[in-house]
């Protein structure tokens, strides 16, 4: 069941097609096959996805469902170059489904039929990339079992291997039916025809046939009846005429009748890599070793020459929705294709919602709302969200300079959530140790490479506070596995937060790590600057992500400085942002958040119905799926998004009513939760409206719920 339609283009939806599957909005079809239908979908952040839905005829078959569940489990184990990762799945749904990233472009078969064989650098990139993909599959203990042209997509970025529909674990038994041959004639190994054996050697055999087909446009064992093709595979020689000499030698070994004579997929990738490198240099020195994996990734990108295709039928909203989905398990690829470092600082830091480099547009009080105590990964309170015992030698758990109550009722401990984060911690300080408060220059990688582990007690405390704060934020999104490393560059007066090494992390997940790192570093440094302005030299921060353990240049995820605020405020008021909305769209791993979200949505719908009944000329909200809510733990914010396809909320008066009802209902729920749970941090809200088909979010209201010091 391939994730493409005709040339990978979106086809119109058909009567009866779902409008949504899990968290994805369905906009059309990509194709269909014997197992079911592949729909074109859009994730909450606008990512294009292929959603495979099992045909009703199979969804009631226990044996088929067992194979589908196995496919899902296996797919979570496989990550690597030139592969399409699983994003989410629900094998237990009435119509079981799984979602992968959309791979734009034709299948290998469709491309060969329209344009002929691959040549030159593109051919060698194809051979190297697909071999790397199989090496990653095999390193995860999985055998693909269905390598064929229909399961290879030629995207503008390179080849992609997909569809593990009949894959099985190398260390387990297959769940395919006894006596039923699996695979496609012409792409089945001799040993599988003889004994039914299906190991990694069979994948390499199919890879050899696949590359030969790409190089010549011909089927290496011809066409015809399945038994005729099987006879040629078992006793004949493959047709390799026209395959370049060096590559032909590699394919002859891969197509050996005896599986013991074939190279492993990783060895095949290493053998193809020098041929790819020679296309870049036009010189292949005798005895030269294969390029390193990072170099191979560069060569693949450089030599791959297929044009990008655009499809106007794709719409790309940033619509965010909260759903429980089976998240893919990220694993480090065995054959790493780490890309060269690139600069990913967020554009226009003035508008950076989590404390960018320039807060000159902020004109408000000297302190921003508190960064409250967080629930850590093990459920324990975090003390003072970096302003507590971990945040400085002389700082109390509530974030104050001496650890005493800062406004709580007499005789009661102060609520740490009321401890403010300073927006101008160096105000009135004549000679601060941090001298780069006005330096808005972009950072350089030299600062990262020259950073060192914390040495002093104060540095160790700050590093601990940043890690603790980040872990608490990421845990609510089931991302606590992304443990940060904190280093220091005193000369640059900069703290460096680095994640990884993982080279397969989705961009949207990496973005959450970046936001969490920036905010945690900013909060910790702002409090340090305020507590010891004459002694604490660090005020700038960078966030990086390593894609491999030996990487010497890690891409940026953002940067800023802590002397001018850490939260998205304008004129002293908190504002929601698309970054926060995207984070809120990630499924919550916190049971309390899920409970509060469901209760709040129900209460808000009831409150809106009551407002409509009052006779203000308002219309009821659209159907049950038109209202949803998610949490952004980075800025302690709740995002409420409303889908208004009918246009009933298009006017200012209607939106004013919605904003008022939302603020009243959401704050009532949040404050009630805060009264019963001192670890409940959420105190900000934002309402986002989506209308029509443009898919663009319209922020119609944001603010903060009152959290007074005497609520403790």
Q: Residue 458, Cα to own-chain centre: how many angstroms? A: 34
State the residue for tokens 């002397």.
Answer: 563
CA distance 133 to 155: 14
Residues 6+ apart with CB under 8 A from 166: 67, 145, 146, 176, 182, 183
| 142 Cβ contact partners less than 8 Å away, ≥ 6 residues apart | 74, 77, 78, 164, 167, 168, 169, 170
Alpha-carbon gap, residue 275 to 255, rounded angstroms? 19
Catalytic residue among 17, 61, 90, 146: 146
Residues 362 and 574 sit within 8 Å (Cβ to Cβ): no
Are the C-beta atoms of residues 384 and 399 closer than 8 Å to each other?
yes
d(CA 184, CA 202): 12
**Bridge-partner residues for 573, per DSSP?**
570
Beta strands in 43-85 (DSSP E): 48-54
List the structure tokens of 81.
Answer: 């170059």
The answer to whether 21 and 13 have CB atoms below 8 angstroms apart is no
CA distance 191 to 179: 15
* Annotated catalytic residue 146: yes
Please name every residue paired with 488 in a beta bridge, in sequence order, or none if there are none.
452, 495
Question: Residue 11 has which token pair?
Answer: 């086809």
Q: Is 438 helix (H, G, I), strand (E, B) or coil?
A: coil
| Residue 444 near residue 553 (C-beta atoms within 8 A) | no
Parallel, antiparallel or unpaired: strands 420-422 and 367-370 = antiparallel
CA distances (Å), 42 to each of 20, 22, 47, 146, 320, in order? 9, 11, 6, 28, 10
Collapsed DSSP state (helix, strand, coil) of residue 658: helix
- Spatial contact of 30 and 21, defined as CB atoms under 8 Å apart: no
- Cα distances (angstroms) measured from residue 163 to each of 10, 68, 390, 429: 19, 12, 48, 62
How remote is the C-alpha of 361 from its chain's centroid?
31
The catalytic residue positions are 146
């Amino acid at each position: 069941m391939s994730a493409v339609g005709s040339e990978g283009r979106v086809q119109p939806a058909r009567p009866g097609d779902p409008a949504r599957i899990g968290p994805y909005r369905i906009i059309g079809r990509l194709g269909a096959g014997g197992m079911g239908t592949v729909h074109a979908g859009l994730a909450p952040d606008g990512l294009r996805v292929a959603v495979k839905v099992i045909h009703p005829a199979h969804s009631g078959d226990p044996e088929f469902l067992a194979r589908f569940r196995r496919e899902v489990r296996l797919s979570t184990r496989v990550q690597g170059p030139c592969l399409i990762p699983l994003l989410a799945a629900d094998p237990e749904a009435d119509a079981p489904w799984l979602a992968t990233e959309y791979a734009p472009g034709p299948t290998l078969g469709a491309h060969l039929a329209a344009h002929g064989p691959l040549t030159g650098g593109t051919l060698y990139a194809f051979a190297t990339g697909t071999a790397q993909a199989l090496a990653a599959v095999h390193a995860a203990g999985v055998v693909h079992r269905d390598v064929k042209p229909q399961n290879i997509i030629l995207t503008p970025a390179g080849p992609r291997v997909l569809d593990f529909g009949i894959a099985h674990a190398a260390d387990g038994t297959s769940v395919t039916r006894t006596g039923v041959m699996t695979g496609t004639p012409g792409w089945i190994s001799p040993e599988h025809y003889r004994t039914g054996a299906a190991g990694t050697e069979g994948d390499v055999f199919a890879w050899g046939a696949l590359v030969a087909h790409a190089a010549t446009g011909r089927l290496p064992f011809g066409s015809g009846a399945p038994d005729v093709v099987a006879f040629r595979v078992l006793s004949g020689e493959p047709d390799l005429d026209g395959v370049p000499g060096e590559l032909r030698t590699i394919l002859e070994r891969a197509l050996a009748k005896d599986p013991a004579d074939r190279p492993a997929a990783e060895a095949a990738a290493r053998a193809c890599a020098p041929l790819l490198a020679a296309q870049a240099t036009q010189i292949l020195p005798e005895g030269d070793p294969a390029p390193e994996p990072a170099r191979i990734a560069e060569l693949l990108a450089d030599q791959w020459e297929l044009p990008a295709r655009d499809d106007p039928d794709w719409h790309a909203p940033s619509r965010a929705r909260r759903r429980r989905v089976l998240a893919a398990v990220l694993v480090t690829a065995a054959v790493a294709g780490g890309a060269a470092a690139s600069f990913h600082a967020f554009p226009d830091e003035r508008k950076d919602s989590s404390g960018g480099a320039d807060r000159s547009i902020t004109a408000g009080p000297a302190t921003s709302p508190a960064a409250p105590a967080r629930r850590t990964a093990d459920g324990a309170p975090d003390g003072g969200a970096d302003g507590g015992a971990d945040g400085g030698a002389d700082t109390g758990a509530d974030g104050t300079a001496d650890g005493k109550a800062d406004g709580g009722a007499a005789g009661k401990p102060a609520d740490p959530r009321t401890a403010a984060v300073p927006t101008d911690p160096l105000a009135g300080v004549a000679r601060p140790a941090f001298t780069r408060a006005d330096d808005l220059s972009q950072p350089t990688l030299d600062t990262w490479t020259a950073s060192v582990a914390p040495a002093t007690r104060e540095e160790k405390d700050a590093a601990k506070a940043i890690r603790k704060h980040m872990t608490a934020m990421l845990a609510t999104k089931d991302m606590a596995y992304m443990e940060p490393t904190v280093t220091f560059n005193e000369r640059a007066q900069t703290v460096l937060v680095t994640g990884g090494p993982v080279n397969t992390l989705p961009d949207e997940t990496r973005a959450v790590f970046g936001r969490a790192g920036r905010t945690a570093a900013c909060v910790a440094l702002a409090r340090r600057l305020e507590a010891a302005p004459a002694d604490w030299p660090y005020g700038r921060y960078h966030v990086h992500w390593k894609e491999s353990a030996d990487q010497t240049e890690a891409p940026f995820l953002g940067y800023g400085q802590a002397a001018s605020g850490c939260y998205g405020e304008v004129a002293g008021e908190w504002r929601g942002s698309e970054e926060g909305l995207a984070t809120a769209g990630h499924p919550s791993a916190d049971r309390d958040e899920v409970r509060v979200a469901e209760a709040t949505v129900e209460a808000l719908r009831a409150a809106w119905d009551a407002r409509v009944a009052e006779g203000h000329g308002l219309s009821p909200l659209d159907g049950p799926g038109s209202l949803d809510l998610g949490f952004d733990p980075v800025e302690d914010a709740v995002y409420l998004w409303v889908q208004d396809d009918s246009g009933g909320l298009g006017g200012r008066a209607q939106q004013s009513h919605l904003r008022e009802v939302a603020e009243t209902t959401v704050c009532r729920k949040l404050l009630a939760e805060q009264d019963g749970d001192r670890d409940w941090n959420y105190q900000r809200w934002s309402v986002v409206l989506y209308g029509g088909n443009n898919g663009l979010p319209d922020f119609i209201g944001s603010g903060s719920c009152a959290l007074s010091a005497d609520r403790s």
